[in-house]
Amino acid sequence: MAQQPKAQTQEDGLPLYRRIRILCSIMGIFLAVLAAPVANAQRCAGNTRVGCLRSGAVCSPVTTGTGASGHCRTTPGLPIGERECECAGAPALNLNGTWLGNDGAVYFLRQIGNELWWAGFSVESPAGLSDLHKGLRFTNVFHGQISGNTVSGEWADVPRGTNLNSGTLSLTAAAQQLQRQAATGGFGATQWSRTSPAPPAQDIFSTFDQVKKNQNAWHDHSLLDNLKPAKAKPVAIFGSIAREDDDLDSMHVNYNTRNGRSYHDFICLNDNDSPPDGDIDFGIKVDRNNLDAQLGFWTDGWETGHSITPSNFFAKLARQNKLHVESIMFGGTKECGDDGTPSFLLPGWQQAGAAGVLVNGVPIAGQMNLIDRDLTSARITAILGRPIPFDARVRVTGNLVLDCGHGFTHPCDEDDAGTQNQEIHPVYALDFVQNFRLPRLLATLTGVWSSNDAGTYYVRELGNTVWWLGLSVDEGRSFANVFRGTLQNGQISGTWADVPLGETSGNGALTVSSGAGGQSTAWTRLNVTGGFSGSTWAKLYDVAENRVVVVFEKAVFSGLSWPSAAEPFEFVVNGQRVEAQAANPRSVRAPGGQQGMQADLTARIPVSVSASGVPIAVSFAGYRATWTISESNLKPGNYTQSMKPPRALPTMAHEQNRSEVMDRDAAMARPSGSESPLRPSPAMTLHYRIETAGGPQ
């Protein structure tokens, strides 16, 4: 039998076809290794040959997230080694929410793509949760751009609070913390941390039921026992202070000047036996044109479930177009004899700071001029130094209620138009509207404005840039928006965004007409995107920047020796007290040839101008001067002011001090023969100048 030939083999005895197959496999692996990226440098984006074989390798460009490079990640749902993969960058920043700054303020941030907006408010309680008003020390707004983890932009204080600064700001941002990198303009915070948003406000009926009155009559302990809220949220209504019945006083308080002012004094007054309630009372004639133009006033927020409808309230108001107004003294939660410290749920005129009733943005805190008129009430002649005339135009913010009276039944008479029991009670804020017919030579758009959306707009003009913070009538809980625009050719054009203090989340572009430029007191909306509600604005009052500086340069004395080398001049300008030591006293000769003395002063005092002008008082060694520079006379230039001397100066060898030489010396009898004779007091004249100054930088 013939022998079959053997298959060709190598020394290992493998068949040739298997040898070729193994060689091909080895070459394929070799080529794959050559083609594969180096570890930690795998480029997975767009590489359909390799896939994400090494999850976590560095890659670029990123396909998800942010940054210049990321890490390789298998597409969700596919196994490792598949041909599709992602290059995942850093998680995208989401800075929306509530943040706490280490400057003692709460910040509400809104991120829209790579834009960041905020509104920041100083607070008095932790995170401002117990503050009835935020931002009384300072309120600022910000607009910037986000690039990676860096935020850069501009900020400005708005005129809610006492600060008016502005500048630039750059931050490093992370999900839970912001860190300041650089700032100009004196910005306070350097670090922010994320916090939980404030809980929603409680129902107004619950609030009224918790706020206690200072009486213990049956079923008469809380505001809810006598008052029925007509609306769920506060209102803001314009009017003029009007006479009520036969009351000759424009405003009075049901409290006597002899009564104590603490919460205990109030709540336990007269052993709680129906004492005077401590309310400020006055009336307003309602500006119906303004009210009827207010968006949603007659349609939204009425307590129809409690039998108060727009129609029955309209019928009451239409009778006389009047509202009675009452501001409570305290809005606390403790009755007389209760243990613990009260919480203040509603503003009161005696409460200080963030719990107080505001007059033109400043808490009253009991600062009223009172004259007793009977055993239970006092006439109010001024609040915070402001007189209270009849016919003064005001805006009153507070709760719209029906006063249902006292006693067993205390009916509210919701459907009886003849029962004139419509009130604003309690009051949150009272704004006296400025008389814009008077000269306003240094006025800008900076100030406090109202809108037909019932909001308050805190406007700041810096050059041709205009910022504002707009807050709904309920302290921004319904809406809070920030705007930044440019004033040009009688228009203000810019962009706006809601911040998460309020419930809305719109943003867009906005243009308003400002025909009188910086002197405008009224705006009309021209164009808008994003659902902005307000369409007209009216200014409530100017808030002056530090527009001028009063510089006291020198004092000229007609005597032969300077009155006092040790005592400083004391200047009080617009409430600011400054001392300046007279420097380099020297002999001078007046134009008439008489000999005198002159000394240099170095007092520079920035002045915030108001419609009432700038009051100045100066005293030195018994010499005094008081005068007021009216707004119309606050012009750059050089000025002089003579100081009133004591009636006479004793001729003594020793130097006089302030305790020895005062105005009262003028009323003293001439000294006896054993004392030095009196001589006429030399004259003293101040030389000062006024400089213009821009807003704070």
User: Is the pLDDT reported for residue 630 higher than 60?
Assistant: yes
Element (H, E) at 289: helix 288-292
DSSP, collapsed to helix, strand or coil, labels residue 177 as strand
Please state the three-class secondary structure of 537-556 as a single string: EEEEEECCCEEEEEEEEEEE
Say if residue 14's pLDDT is above 60.
no
SS in 3 state form for 138-153?
CEEEEEEEEECCEEEE
Phi-psi bin for 517: left (phi > 0), alpha (psi -120 to 50), beta? left
Triad 227, 230, 232: Cα angle to 5°: 110
Strand partners, 627: 616
Instruction: Say what the pLDDT of residue 20 is.
Output: 55
The pLDDT of 308-321, averaged and rounded, is 96
- From the list 540, 542, 538, the residue with the least C-alpha distance to 289 is 538
Q: What helix, strand, coil percent values describe the chain, rounded to 5?
A: 10, 40, 50
Q: What pLDDT is recorded for position 50?
A: 62
Q: With beta carbons less than 8 A apart as the criterion, state whether 325 and 310 touch.
A: no
Q: Is 236 helix (H, G, I), strand (E, B) or coil?
A: strand
Sheet order of strands, 684-692 included? 583-589, 595-608, 546-557, 684-692, 637-643
- Alpha carbons 75 and 55: distance in angstroms, whole number: 11
- Pairing mode of beta strands 614-620, 569-573: antiparallel
Mean per-residue pLDDT for 184-189? Answer: 94
Which candidate, 178, 171, 179, places its Cα nearest to that of 151? 171
Give the DSSP per-residue string, 358-421: EETTEE-TT-EEEEE-SSS-EEEEEETTEE--TT-EEEEEEEEEEE--STTT----TT-TTS--
Looking at residue 217, its pLDDT comes to 66
Nearest 5 degrees, angle CA 510-CA 516-CA 518?
80
Distance CA 380, CA 370 (A): 5
656 pLDDT band, cuts 50/70/90, is very low
| Cross-strand pairs, 194 | 99
Cα 294–chain centre separation: 23
Nearest-angstrom CA–CA distance, 638 and 160: 34
Residues 6+ apart with CB under 8 A from 653: none
283 forms bridges with which residues in the sheet?
242, 324
Distance between CA 428 and CA 352 in Å, rounded? 13
661 Cα distance to chain centroid = 46
- φ, ψ at 29 (rounded to 5°): -65, -40
Give per-residue burial for 373-403: e unless 16+ CB within 10 Å, then b.
eeeebbbbeebeebebeeebbbbbbbbbbbb
Residue 594 is classified by DSSP as: -
Q: Please compute the mean of the pLDDT values over residues 117-132 and round it to a whole number.
A: 97
Q: Is the pLDDT of residue 441 over 80?
A: no
Q: Which residues, 6+ apart, have CB-to-CB distance to 658 below 8 Å?
A: 567, 621, 622
Residue 48's pLDDT band, with cuts at 50, 70 and 90, is low
pLDDT tens, 573-608?
887 788 999 988 999 887 677 889 999 997 888 777
Element (DSSP H or E) covering residue 92: none
Query: Which has the higher per-residue pLDDT, 315 or 273?
Result: 315
Tens digit of each residue's pLDDT (9 = 90 or more) over 492-519: 999 999 999 999 999 999 999 988 888 8
DSSP-assigned states of every residue in 219-244: T-SBGGGTEEESBSS-EEEEEEEE--
Distance (Å, whole) CA 154 – CA 170: 9
What tokens does 652 get?
A: 């003594």
Q: What is the Cα–Cα distance from 282 to 430, expressed in whole angstroms?
A: 12
Task: Average the pLDDT over 1-24 and give the result.
Answer: 51
Distance of CA 455 to the CA centre of its chain: 14
Tell whether the model's pLDDT for residue 544 goes beyond 50.
yes
User: Which pLDDT score, from 0 to 100, does residue 679 have?
Assistant: 62
Question: Over 50: is that where the pLDDT of 8 sits?
Answer: no
Query: With 80 as the cut, is the pLDDT of residue 320 above it?
Result: yes
Q: What is the pLDDT of residue 268?
A: 92
C-alpha pair distances (Å), 594 with each of 297, 474, 558, 602: 73, 67, 8, 26
pLDDT for res 635: 78
Asked if the model's pLDDT at residue 259 lies above 90, the reply is: yes
Residue type, 200: P
**Average pLDDT, whole number, for the chain?**
86
State the first-to-last Cα distance of the chain, in angstroms, to the nearest integer: 114
pLDDT value at residue 271: 81
pLDDT, one tens digit per residue, over 375-426 is 999 999 999 888 999 999 999 999 999 999 876 667 899 999 999 999 999 9
CB of 216 closer than 8 Å to CB of 378: no
At 680 the pLDDT is 73
The strand order across the sheet containing 614-620 reads 576-580, 569-573, 614-620, 623-629
Report how far apart, in Å, the C-alpha atoms of 521 and of each of 81, 437, 539 are: 69, 11, 5
